[in-house]
């Protein structure tokens, strides 16, 4: 399992050195995976480990708290996906306005050299760091030549249509409910991970008991009903259908976001368990029904459509196979 480390000052000696890939890696999409494959090959040739240096929380959330970024992969899920890409440890540098004010020189010396002992750094051409974003890749290369680390610049990764794959592009697709195209760019099915909590248990009385997971208010996924696969903490998989949104038939418009998953052909006790819900297809938008009878009738249709969709799914990649199959 990939280690998550927040305190770089207490870094164990075996984790120092190696190849360090720097970035937010939100989504760990196919573009990120290509960068990590390049970094992993460098680490293999030099007989060292591959690590990732990222920042937590996302810097945009710090600078724009009223407009927090829609995280495709919260830190625990991101670490798991990075582990599947061959990363040994994820250094989650705590990010704040104070941290953003350190000089570019102090970032290189204090974090990369004395903190991580980096032997090789991999990052994108547009990487900026230090107070006022004064540090750039030219500075990294120049200082690294005397500080003991080398630098590789990763190119943007394009999809089959020649368009650059980015977290922003994937967020836009998810805001439209297009989880199929999003999965094509991610390389795996979009996943919401969270703890199952007690709800009002209305679904149970309707014959559709659900596993309820509160969702980050910043989540920009289109409200609606999706064909899904639920993955338990022990790796057990269950097909199902999930409703994402604010439940307009039974709740007020300002109700908190909730993901409600009905698991087919099983009734596992999931309360208190952290589960993954992987989205395979969008069935319909969220809507308000005239009453519970109309809601139940539609739920039966949703179930049938989800079963049909999930009956013939195939892995998109090794990562997708590990997560959803």
Q: What is the pLDDT of residues 37-65, one digit of tens each?
A: 999 999 999 999 999 999 999 988 999 98
Q: What is the pLDDT of residues 75-113, one digit of tens each?
A: 999 999 999 999 999 999 999 999 999 999 999 999 999
Pick 291 or 82 by higher pLDDT: 82
Q: What is the pLDDT of residues 6-43, one digit of tens each?
A: 988 878 888 999 999 999 999 999 999 999 999 999 99
Residue-level pLDDT at 269: 85
- Nearest to residue 120, comparing CAs of 44, 42, 54? 42
Q: What is the pLDDT of residues 182-204, one digit of tens each?
A: 999 999 999 999 999 987 766 66
Residue indicated by tokens 């919260």: 74
**Is the model's pLDDT at 297 over the cut of 70?**
yes
**Is the model's pLDDT at 251 over the cut of 80?**
no
Q: What is the rounded average pLDDT of the residues 275-300?
A: 90
pLDDT, mean over the chain:
93
pLDDT band at 152 (very low <50, low <70, confident <90, very high): very high
Domains of the chain: 14-154 (3.40.50.620), 187-324 (2.40.30.30)
Q: What is the rounded average pLDDT of the residues 107-135?
A: 95
% of the chain at pLDDT higher than 90 = 78
Q: What is the rounded average pLDDT of the residues 146-171?
A: 93
């Amino acid at each position: 399992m990939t280690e998550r480390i927040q305190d770089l000052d207490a870094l164990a000696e075996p984790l120092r050195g190696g190849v360090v890939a720097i970035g937010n890696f939100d989504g760990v999409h196919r573009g990120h995976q290509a960068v990590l494959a390049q970094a992993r090959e460098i680490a293999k040739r030099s007989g060292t480990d591959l690590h990732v240096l990222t920042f937590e929380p996302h810097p945009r959330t710090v600078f724009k708290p009223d407009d927090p970024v829609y995280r495709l992969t919260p830190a625990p899920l991101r670490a798991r996906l990075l582990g599947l890409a061959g990363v040994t440890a994820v250094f989650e540098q705590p990010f704040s306005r104070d941290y953003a004010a350190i000089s570019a020189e102090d970032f290189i010396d204090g974090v990369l050299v004395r903190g991580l002992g980096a032997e090789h750094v991999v990052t994108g051409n547009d990487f900026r760091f230090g107070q006022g974003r004064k540090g750039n890749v030219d500075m990294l290369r120049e200082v690294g030549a005397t500080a003991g680390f080398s630098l590789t610049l990763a190119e943007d990764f394009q999809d089959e249509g020649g368009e650059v794959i980015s977290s922003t592009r994937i967020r836009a697709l998810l805001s439209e409910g297009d989880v199929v195209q999003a999965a094509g760019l991610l390389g795996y099915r979009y996943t919401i991970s969270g703890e199952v909590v007690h709800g009002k248990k209305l679904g149970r009385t309707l014959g559709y008991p659900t596993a309820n997971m509160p969702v980050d208010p910043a989540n920009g996924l289109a409200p609606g009903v999706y064909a899904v696969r639920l993955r338990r903490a022990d790796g057990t998989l269950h097909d199902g259908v999930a409703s994402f949104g604010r439940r307009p038939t039974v709740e007020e418009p300002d109700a908190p976001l909730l993901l409600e998953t009905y698991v087919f052909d099983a009734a596992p006790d999931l309360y208190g368990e952290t589960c993954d819900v992987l989205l395979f297809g969008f069935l319909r938008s969220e809507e308000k029904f005239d009453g519970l009878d109309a809601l139940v009738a539609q739920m039966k249709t949703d179930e049938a459509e989800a079963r049909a969709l999930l009956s013939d799914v195939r892995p998109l990649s090794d990562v997708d196979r590990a997560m959803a199959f």
